[in-house]
Amino acid sequence: MPFPSATAQAILRRGVPSRSLLALGEYLEVGKGDLADLVGMDRATASRKVTLDQPLPIHAGECVLRLLELQCQAEDTFEGPDAASAWLRRGHAMLEGESPLQCAKSWYGTQRVKELLVAIKYGGVV
Protein backbone atom coordinates (compact mmCIF):
# COMPACT_ATOMS: atom_id res chain seq x y z
CA MET A 1 0.00 0.00 0.00
CA PRO A 2 1.27 3.51 -0.67
CA PHE A 3 3.12 5.37 2.01
CA PRO A 4 1.28 8.49 3.12
CA SER A 5 3.27 11.40 1.71
CA ALA A 6 4.08 12.77 5.17
CA THR A 7 5.44 9.37 6.23
CA ALA A 8 7.49 8.96 3.06
CA GLN A 9 8.89 12.48 3.45
CA ALA A 10 9.84 11.79 7.07
CA ILE A 11 11.59 8.55 6.06
CA LEU A 12 13.52 10.34 3.33
CA ARG A 13 14.40 13.24 5.62
CA ARG A 14 15.91 10.82 8.16
CA GLY A 15 17.62 8.92 5.36
CA VAL A 16 16.95 5.43 4.09
CA PRO A 17 19.66 3.16 5.48
CA SER A 18 21.83 1.63 2.76
CA ARG A 19 21.61 -1.77 4.46
CA SER A 20 17.93 -1.77 3.51
CA LEU A 21 19.14 -2.68 0.02
CA LEU A 22 20.17 -6.11 1.28
CA ALA A 23 16.74 -6.86 2.69
CA LEU A 24 14.99 -5.36 -0.34
CA GLY A 25 17.03 -7.52 -2.71
CA GLU A 26 15.98 -10.63 -0.81
CA TYR A 27 12.37 -9.48 -0.64
CA LEU A 28 12.19 -8.78 -4.38
CA GLU A 29 14.39 -11.78 -5.20
CA VAL A 30 16.84 -9.75 -7.28
CA GLY A 31 20.63 -9.70 -7.20
CA LYS A 32 22.76 -6.85 -5.88
CA GLY A 33 23.75 -5.54 -9.29
CA ASP A 34 20.17 -5.55 -10.57
CA LEU A 35 18.91 -3.88 -7.41
CA ALA A 36 21.56 -1.16 -7.58
CA ASP A 37 20.44 -0.46 -11.15
CA LEU A 38 16.78 -0.38 -10.10
CA VAL A 39 17.49 2.34 -7.52
CA GLY A 40 19.68 4.36 -9.88
CA MET A 41 23.09 3.56 -8.42
CA ASP A 42 26.09 1.67 -9.73
CA ARG A 43 26.90 -1.54 -7.89
CA ALA A 44 30.22 -0.31 -6.48
CA THR A 45 28.65 2.82 -4.98
CA ALA A 46 25.77 0.86 -3.48
CA SER A 47 28.17 -1.70 -2.03
CA ARG A 48 30.41 1.04 -0.56
CA LYS A 49 27.42 2.75 1.07
CA VAL A 50 26.29 -0.55 2.62
CA THR A 51 29.82 -1.30 3.87
CA LEU A 52 30.16 2.20 5.40
CA ASP A 53 26.56 2.12 6.68
CA GLN A 54 25.78 5.42 4.94
CA PRO A 55 22.25 6.52 4.07
CA LEU A 56 21.12 6.26 0.47
CA PRO A 57 20.89 9.37 -1.69
CA ILE A 58 17.34 10.75 -1.78
CA HIS A 59 16.68 9.50 -5.33
CA ALA A 60 17.68 5.96 -4.33
CA GLY A 61 15.63 6.17 -1.12
CA GLU A 62 12.59 7.21 -3.16
CA CYS A 63 13.16 4.21 -5.43
CA VAL A 64 13.33 1.90 -2.43
CA LEU A 65 9.97 3.19 -1.20
CA ARG A 66 8.43 2.85 -4.69
CA LEU A 67 9.67 -0.71 -5.04
CA LEU A 68 8.29 -1.64 -1.62
CA GLU A 69 4.91 -0.18 -2.58
CA LEU A 70 4.91 -2.10 -5.86
CA GLN A 71 5.78 -5.38 -4.17
CA CYS A 72 2.98 -4.87 -1.64
CA GLN A 73 0.47 -4.01 -4.36
CA ALA A 74 1.58 -7.02 -6.43
CA GLU A 75 1.24 -9.30 -3.38
CA ASP A 76 -2.28 -8.00 -2.88
CA THR A 77 -3.09 -8.56 -6.55
CA PHE A 78 -1.56 -12.04 -6.83
CA GLU A 79 -2.35 -13.06 -3.23
CA GLY A 80 1.17 -13.93 -2.23
CA PRO A 81 4.81 -12.89 -2.34
CA ASP A 82 6.13 -15.61 -4.67
CA ALA A 83 3.70 -14.96 -7.52
CA ALA A 84 4.09 -11.20 -7.02
CA SER A 85 7.89 -11.32 -7.19
CA ALA A 86 7.81 -13.55 -10.26
CA TRP A 87 5.40 -11.20 -12.06
CA LEU A 88 7.47 -8.13 -11.18
CA ARG A 89 10.64 -9.72 -12.62
CA ARG A 90 9.13 -11.08 -15.87
CA GLY A 91 8.98 -9.05 -19.08
CA HIS A 92 5.48 -7.81 -19.91
CA ALA A 93 4.06 -7.06 -23.36
CA MET A 94 2.17 -3.99 -22.08
CA LEU A 95 5.51 -2.57 -20.92
CA GLU A 96 7.24 -3.07 -24.27
CA GLY A 97 8.90 -6.23 -23.00
CA GLU A 98 10.40 -4.66 -19.90
CA SER A 99 9.78 -6.22 -16.53
CA PRO A 100 7.58 -4.22 -14.17
CA LEU A 101 10.64 -3.68 -11.94
CA GLN A 102 12.63 -2.25 -14.86
CA CYS A 103 9.73 -0.02 -15.81
CA ALA A 104 9.48 1.21 -12.21
CA LYS A 105 12.83 3.02 -12.39
CA SER A 106 10.85 6.21 -12.90
CA TRP A 107 7.79 7.62 -11.17
CA TYR A 108 5.81 7.49 -14.41
CA GLY A 109 6.85 3.91 -15.09
CA THR A 110 5.78 3.02 -11.57
CA GLN A 111 2.37 4.55 -12.21
CA ARG A 112 2.01 2.42 -15.36
CA VAL A 113 2.85 -0.75 -13.41
CA LYS A 114 0.34 0.21 -10.71
CA GLU A 115 -2.32 0.71 -13.41
CA LEU A 116 -1.58 -2.78 -14.75
CA LEU A 117 -1.88 -4.29 -11.29
CA VAL A 118 -5.24 -2.59 -10.72
CA ALA A 119 -6.47 -3.81 -14.11
CA ILE A 120 -5.34 -7.36 -13.35
CA LYS A 121 -6.95 -7.33 -9.93
CA TYR A 122 -10.27 -5.80 -10.98
CA GLY A 123 -10.49 -6.94 -14.57
CA GLY A 124 -10.06 -3.53 -16.14
CA VAL A 125 -8.79 -2.65 -19.56
CA VAL A 126 -5.05 -2.05 -19.88
Torsion angles phi and psi, residue 55, rounded to 5: -70, 155
Give the pLDDT of residue 92.
Answer: 95
Report d(CA 61, CA 93) in Å as an integer: 28
Sequence-ordered list of residues with C-beta below 8 angstroms from that of 70, at least 6 positions apart, any chain: 88, 100, 101, 104, 110, 113, 114, 117
pTM of the model: 0.88
| DSSP conformation class of 80 | S
In which domain, by residue range, is 23 found?
A: 5-122
What is the pLDDT confidence band of residue 123, given thresholds at 50, 70 and 90?
confident
Q: Is residue 126 predicted with pLDDT exceeding 90?
A: no
Report d(CA 49, CA 16) in Å as an integer: 11
pLDDT (tens digit per residue) in 50-103: 999 999 999 999 999 999 999 999 999 998 899 999 999 999 999 999 999 999
pLDDT (tens digit per residue) in 6-65: 998 999 999 999 999 999 999 999 999 999 999 999 999 999 999 999 999 999 999 999
Say if residue 51 is exposed, middle or buried (CB neighbours under 10 Å; 0-12, 13-18, 19+): exposed
Total structural domains within the chain: 1
Sequence-ordered list of residues with C-beta below 8 angstroms from that of 17, at least 6 positions apart, any chain: 53, 55, 56
Closest CA to 8 of 50, 88, 69: 69
